[in-house]
Every structure is written in C-alpha cells, then in structure tokens.
A and B are shown apart, each in its own frame.
Chain A
Amino acid sequence: MFARALKVLTCSLALLLGASSLNARDLVVDLSAPIVQITAGFSGTELLLFGAKRGAGDVIVVVRGPLEDQTVHLKERKLGVWVNTENLTFEDIPSYYWVASNRPVFNILPADTLARLQIGLDEVQMSTVEEDPNSAVKIAFRAALVRDKVRKRLYAEDAVPLLFRSDMLFHTTINFPASVSVGEFAIETYLVRDQEVITSETTLLNVRKFGLEAEIYNFAHQQSLLYGIFAVIIACAAGWLANAAFRRG
C-alpha cells in the first residue's frame, strides 16, 4: 500500500513538473509502465494509470486488448448427458475490455455517445457472421460470453474507481489477470464536460511474453515439428536420467 502511494506521489510530481505540456493540451495521461512482460513468475499484474486535466469535467478510461475470435457453445442435456449443441462465433472482439470513470458512465455521457464510442460492457461491438445482429439467440450468447469474460477478470466495468487527487490530477489502477492475451492494448482516456467529449488521449500498452516463456511459445508455434521432436528428446533424456539416478540409489 505504501509502495503504491509512493508511486502515485512520484507520478504526480512528474506530471506537475511536466505541467507545461498541459498548457498545450487539456488532457495528459501516462502509465506506470509502457510494457507488461509475461515471465515465468507472471501471475497477473496491475498498472497505474495517472494523468492531469485542465478545467472541470469527468474522466472515462477505456482499455481494449488485441482482437480475437471467440466461439460460444451451448450445452444441452441429450440422452442424460450434457452435450454442446449450438455454437456461435463472435469475430474480432476485444480479448480484454476494461472501463473506469469517476462516476457511472451513463451519468457522464448520453446513451448514443456511449454506443458510438463503445463505452460500457453493453456497448462493446461483438459481431457474428451466422446470426442477424438482434436475434434472441445472439443476445443470449453475447450475454454468456460477457459473463464469462467478467468471471475471468478479462472484462470489467467500474471494478476500480477512478480517483481525483485535486481538480487537476487523477489516477486509477488497471488489473491484468494471468490469462491476459499478448499484443497491443489501446487505452482511450476521455475528458467530458456537459455531456460532451472535450478531448481524448490514446495511450498504447504492449503486453508480451518475455525471456524463456516467449522463446518456448514462439518455438512451439513457428517450428512445431522441431518443437515436438525436442519435447520427445527431453522426455527420453529425463526418463533415462531418472532410471540411472535411482539404480545407483
């Protein structure tokens, strides 16, 4: 907790010193780190997002992870056993989606603006090829997918508050679970006054596997045949070693 307070303090100081840049812009945003590195000990992480704004207004932060396709299966009981019956694939949905604001977003912006900017879990665009966009089936599958993402802490809406330090400074923390996808994350920060977006800032964040983890992953995906053979050789060597070790003991 102390470390976090210290981090906020240093970041705030850095911002105050750089306040001259605020003269040119109404909104300045930065992260405690520009890269999230997934190493062997990675079990999720949190980043501090901090910034400064000029004048009154509300702040909304939206984080979107790299796009992915997700298939949702519906289980039904057939002959007494639960079987996947129907399935629907959502294409190009954000693998990670996270919203924070100083008060509920629907009090800050009108519904049509929220929909246009895709702010809030109900507004994330999730399109499918198979079904027409407003069918009851699609709505049910979409709700299930969002529920699952929230359960896995990959989607969140107002899970962590965005706090104002003064009229000018604000900060919040973004949580990434261990199952976070790798790739480019886009963080949009909106400054809103009187139900209108005054300005917005885009910050990029890179999440990537690092060190041995990255090498194993790339090896497995880029040279999968060699990787498979390598895995077998390691297993044979380990088996032989085990036998030799215990024969002596």
Chain B
Amino acid sequence: MQIYLPIAEMSVNIFLILGMGGGVGFLSGLFGVGGGFLMTPLLIFIGIPPAVAVATEANQIVASSVSGVLAHLRRGNVDIKMGILLLIGGVIGSTFGVWLFTFLKGLGQIDLVIKLSYVVFLGIIGSLMLIESINAMRARKRKAQKRSHSHNWMHGLPFKMRFRKSRLYISAILPIVIGIFVGILSAIMGVGGGFVMVPAMIYLLGMPTAVVVGTSLFQIIFVTANVTVLQAVSNQAVDIVLALLLLIGGVIGAQFGARFGGRMQGEQLRGMLALIVIAVCLKLTFDLVVAPADPYDFGVGGH
C-alpha cells in the first residue's frame, strides 16, 4: 500500500516505513539508544531527500525520548539539574547547527557533510564501544574492581556546582560544552546524539551509569524539539506523515526490544551495538569512496 508524503513529495510503501520504524525501534529498545543514527541513513537510502530525512527524524526522536524519559523519571533516574545545563548547551549548539545546515545546503555540500559526519562519528564511537565492551567482558571474568573517576584538569575549572543525583561536584562549563557539541551534531546529522552524549557523560563527567540514560533522554527531548521547530522554519523539511509512521513502528518495536534486552548481559549488548555501528559506518564509507553511477547530482532551487 502506497502513501504520498506531503513534504518529501514522494510516494512510499506504508509497510516498508512501519517495518523500518519497528526494526530500528527494536534495536533502540534493546540497546537504550535513540536509533537516529540508523534511521536517518536508512531514510536517505530509500530515497527520502536528506534534508527531509534529517528534519523528520529529529521530530520522531522527540516522541521516542518522551516515552523513554517518563519510564526513567518513575525510577528516579533523571538528574534534572545536570540535564538543564546540558540543555542550555544543546539549545545553543542546535541553533548554530541548523544555521550551519542551511548555509551548507546553499553551498550544495550538505549531503557530503551529513555523510562525512556519520562516517567519522560512527567510526570513532563504534570502535571505542567495541574495545570497551571486550575489556568489560574480560574484566568480568577477572572480577576486577571498577575504579572511581580520577581527578584531572577538568576539576580545576571555575563555576563549580553540586549535582546530588549524579554525586558530582564539577564545573558547570563542562556539561554546557558537551551540550553545545551534541546539539550541533543533532542538527546536522538528524540524531538525538545519545550515542555521543552517553559515553561523554560516563567517561568525561564521571556520572553513574544508572542516571546517564534518563538524563541524556531528558535533554534530547528539548534539543530535538528545538531542531524540529528550526528545521520547520528555515527548511520546511519536517514531514509529519513520515514522522507519525516511523513513530508507530518505533514505539511497538522498542517495547519488544526492551523486553528482549532484559535477558542479555550489558557488555554483550554493547558489543553487538558496536558491531552494528561499525557496519553502518563501513557502508557509508563505501558509498563515499566508490564511484557513483552518475557523477552529476540534482537539487531543486537556485544558488
């Protein structure tokens, strides 16, 4: 059954989109990530214009993050104070990111920048996660004690604040800078940024793992909401029909994924996720390096 997408201005198979939403939703429920880094390339792959894919995916992530954060709030796993600081950075970063996106679109280089960002970040994060999970699997065998975070230059920064939920006393500048960085990524790549935010919170800030996912989701809601509104205003690229279809599939898939994931070990899950991330990265690299079928590329509009 075909459905016409009013903003993407093309006709897609309704079951294909629902299935994609379900598949990515399953993985995101399984691994506790937003799944934007998988969905946006998939949407581009089936022919959705990259600008529409990025903007619409941001809108879908708003929904999946709201759903996730409610569950974490009930368990008391959200550090609101930390979230708000990350959010301040996130709003600054994503506003700048959407401006950058529009600018690059005018230059005709937006597709390249989207793809290159994916290759670089998926490559780095995927490799780091794989190494970390292999180490964790080994450490588990040796029953090694996890060391607490060490003191370094970051603890010399001014504007120190106390974060009770995270049991931290650190400078407010750190979460704001991380927020800005992730905000830019989320505007350009159409992702929530959880896959960058979560490792940054654990390894850079030293937050306890339990509150990381909830806090990350909390701020992702606002950053992706900001991206959605800004993309709607400057590029008119948010397709509500597409977002709703992805959402329906995604919500159902995520529930199955979460149940399935409960039966597996954390390190194994992270290792599997790392392999998927690396696979997506390799596929995108392959597309960038191999000669295209037609060296000419087309876009509506001037400049």
Chain A residues proximal to chain B, CB less than 8 Å:
38-44, 68-77, 80-84, 87, 89, 91, 141, 144-145, 147-148, 178-179, 209, 212-214, 216-217, 220-221, 224-225, 227-232, 234-236, 238-240, 242-243, 246-247
Nearest B residue to A215, CB-CB: B6
A43–B2 touching, CB < 8 Å: yes
Shortest CB-to-CB span from A78 to chain B, Å, is 10
A71–B301 touching, CB < 8 Å: yes
Shortest CB-to-CB span from A8 to chain B, Å, is 26
Contacts of B231 in A (CB 8 A): 228
A228–B4 touching, CB < 8 Å: no
Residue from the set B1, B68, B229, B303 with the largest chain A CB neighbour count within 10 Å: B229
B59–A232 touching, CB < 8 Å: yes
A231–B232 touching, CB < 8 Å: yes
Interface of B: prevailing SS: helix
Nearest A residue to B8, CB-CB: A179
In angstroms, Cα B227 to Cα A26, docked, is: 59
Interface string of B105-118 (1 = CB under 8 A from A): 00011011000100
Contacts of A225 in B (CB 8 A): 229, 232-233
B109–A243 touching, CB < 8 Å: no
A141–B296 touching, CB < 8 Å: yes
Contacts of B300 in A (CB 8 A): 68-71
Nearest 9 interchain pairs by C-beta: A239-B66, A228-B232, A228-B229, A178-B11, A144-B296, A235-B62, A235-B63, A43-B2, A242-B251
Select one of B60, B67, B288, B294 contacting A147, CB under 8 A: B294
Chain B residues proximal to chain A, CB less than 8 Å:
1-4, 6-7, 9-11, 59-60, 62-68, 70-71, 108-109, 111-112, 116, 221, 225, 228-233, 236, 238, 240-241, 243-244, 247, 251, 255, 288-289, 291-292, 294-303
Contacts of A41 in B (CB 8 A): 1-4
Shortest CB-to-CB span from B109 to chain A, Å, is 6
B70–A240 touching, CB < 8 Å: yes
Question: In the complex, given contacts A84-B112, A216-B6, A220-B236, what are 4 additional A-B residue pairs having Cβ atoms less than 8 angstroms apart?
Answer: A40-B241, A148-B296, A178-B10, A239-B67
Contacts of B291 in A (CB 8 A): 77, 82
Shortest CB-to-CB span from B299 to chain A, Å, is 5
Shortest CB-to-CB span from A244 to chain B, Å, is 8
Shortest CB-to-CB span from A82 to chain B, Å, is 6
Contacts of B236 in A (CB 8 A): 220-221, 224
Residue from the set A44, A70, A243 with the largest chain B CB neighbour count within 10 Å: A243
A39–B296 touching, CB < 8 Å: no
Residue from the set A82, A91, A216, A229 with the largest chain B CB neighbour count within 10 Å: A82
Shortest CB-to-CB span from A151 to chain B, Å, is 9
B4–A38 touching, CB < 8 Å: yes
Contacts of A70 in B (CB 8 A): 298-301
Residue from the set A69, A84, A214 with the largest chain B CB neighbour count within 10 Å: A84
A243–B67 touching, CB < 8 Å: yes
Select one of A43, A73, A76, A232 contacting B11, CB under 8 A: A43
Shortest CB-to-CB span from A6 to chain B, Å, is 25
In angstroms, Cα B112 to Cα A81, docked, is: 9
B62–A236 touching, CB < 8 Å: yes
Nearest A residue to B69, CB-CB: A239
**Known contacts A75-B296, A224-B233, A238-B251; is-contact A42 B243 (Cβ 8 Å):** no
B228–A84 touching, CB < 8 Å: no
B225–A232 touching, CB < 8 Å: yes
**Known contacts A43-B11, A232-B62; is-contact A148 B6 (Cβ 8 Å):** no
Shortest CB-to-CB span from B67 to chain A, Å, is 4
Contacts of A74 in B (CB 8 A): 295-297
In angstroms, Cα B108 to Cα A1, docked, is: 45
Select one of A42, A72, A75, A220 contacting B7, CB under 8 A: A220
B109–A81 touching, CB < 8 Å: no
**Known contacts A71-B299, A82-B288, A242-B63; is-contact A231 B4 (Cβ 8 Å):** no
**Known contacts A144-B294, A220-B7; is-contact A235 B2 (Cβ 8 Å):** no
B295–A89 touching, CB < 8 Å: no
Shortest CB-to-CB span from A53 to chain B, Å, is 36
Shortest CB-to-CB span from B74 to chain A, Å, is 9
Contacts of A217 in B (CB 8 A): 6-7
Contacts of A209 in B (CB 8 A): 6
Select one of A40, A145, A240 contacting B4, CB under 8 A: A40
